[in-house]
Amino acid sequence: MTRRKVYVTVNAEHMPDGTCRPRTIRMENQEEYEIDRVVQVRPCASEVGGRGIRYTIRIGRSETHLFDEQNGRWFVEAKFG
């Protein structure tokens, strides 16, 4: 299975202390997913290129990485194949 950088639309809650909590993501095909849990947040490089704040998120029983490039753009390491 290969991974690819896919830019997504993110609905996030910005807290008074400056932290950010992503709540939903919408993929290129307009499918929207509610984020059940944010497992970890840390600065990190992506395996598919790029870097930023990496949110390890859980959607249902699946866990994936959501990246905030800190320039208004978000992407996921989407799985293909």
pLDDT of residue 30: 95
Q: pTM of the prediction?
A: 0.91
User: How far is residue 5 from each of residues 2, 14, 41, 49, 76, measured CA to CA in Å?
Assistant: 10, 24, 18, 7, 6
Indicate the DSSP class of residue 15. P
pLDDT of 76 above 90: yes
pLDDT of 1 above 90: no
d(CA 22, CA 56): 11
Q: Which of 18, 20, 14, 16 is nearest to 38 (CA)?
A: 20
pLDDT tens, residue by residue, 9-65: 999 999 999 999 999 999 989 999 999 999 999 999 999 999 999 999 999 999 999
pLDDT of 81 above 80: no
pLDDT of 5 above 90: yes
